[in-house]
Amino acid sequence: MLSVLIVVLPIFALIFAGWGARRLGVLGPAATGELNRFVVWLALPALLFDIVANAHWTELWRPGFAAAFGLGALLVFVLPLAWARWRKRAHSSPRNMADAAIDGLNVACPNTGFVGFPLATAVFGTAALAPTLIATILTVCVVFAIALVMIEAGLQGGGRPGATAAKVGLSLIKNPLLVAPALGLIVLLLGLAVPEPVERFLKLLGGAASPCALVALGLFLGEKPEGKAPANTAVAVMVALKLIVQPAVTWLLATQVFRLDALSTHIAVLMAALPTGTGPFMLAEFYQREAGVTSRTILVSTLLAVATITIYLDLVA
């Protein structure tokens, strides 16, 4: 319990710092958007490039673990999309696809980078580093990328298929969250070494991604509410899918389908059981979508994850 609290409390401190700065008027109403743009255009691309470019194939070649965690994330990711399609929202308005994609990230995008690494190493030691890296890459470079494609398709849709595809392709080519890991993959495939000054630059800039995103989330929560509040039912469903359904599906895949060893299974389930990361909020703000449900999902899931993760670790100890 103490190890979980040690990891999670600094996260709340950063969110609270942003909330307090906005409530006290230290930072103005434009701060949320500007700080979020810094993360999306500079800090997070640097982090993604650095993660992918410095990965090692020997560490990443764990197909069973990758399949269990990745398929678990994708299966819960499609649930909000299926719900939107069932209600025919995706057909009646192309923009609803973008909202459903962000909802999908809310339930399938665990905070592997900021919470996963320190928590996994505290519980399982250095043996957890490589699996946690795999989970991080799958989250930010696969699930995130799929969501970006769907968001762009939803926002650019409504015209002829050829013209829509061209608009989506152009938007994706200009999107730093896809360009950065793609460039990192090229560096990895060519076996190139990142020069030390460049590496230090990436570490400094990428290290600002998570703290700034959390402060931006606090700034958003510190805004005085206007209009209707986010639906509590929607938040409850998102949190349940994130903290209960995703780890349960991942456990079934790890034990019944891919037959992973006990350590790999526990790390995969722990990664899936993490609270929602800040990525969905950054995209909601960046694309100017409704971010109330997303911000509450992140906050509530982070609070409740202290209990759910502690229960799981007690059961497997």
Give me the tens of pLDDT residue by residue for the chain, a chain 317 residues long. Answer: 666 677 677 878 888 899 999 999 999 888 988 998 898 899 888 988 888 888 777 777 899 999 999 999 999 999 988 887 766 544 555 447 888 899 999 999 998 877 888 788 778 887 888 888 889 888 877 888 888 888 877 777 655 666 666 666 776 677 787 788 889 889 988 988 899 999 999 999 988 887 888 888 888 878 776 555 567 888 999 999 999 999 999 999 999 999 999 999 999 999 999 999 888 888 888 887 877 888 889 889 988 988 898 888 878 76
Enumerate the β-bridge partners of residue 276.
Answer: 110
Give the residue ranges of DSSP H helices in 39-174: 44-53, 57-60, 63-86, 89-92, 95-108, 117-124, 129-138, 144-156, 161-173
Q: What is the rounded distance in angstroms from the CA atom of residue 85 to the CA atom of residue 27?
A: 40
Contact, 119 vs 270, CB < 8 A? yes
The answer regarding whether domain 2-15+29-222+231-316 maps to CATH 3.30.450 reads no
Phi-psi region of 23 (alpha: psi -120 to 50; beta: other; left: phi over 0): alpha
Please state the pTM of the whole predicted model. Answer: 0.78
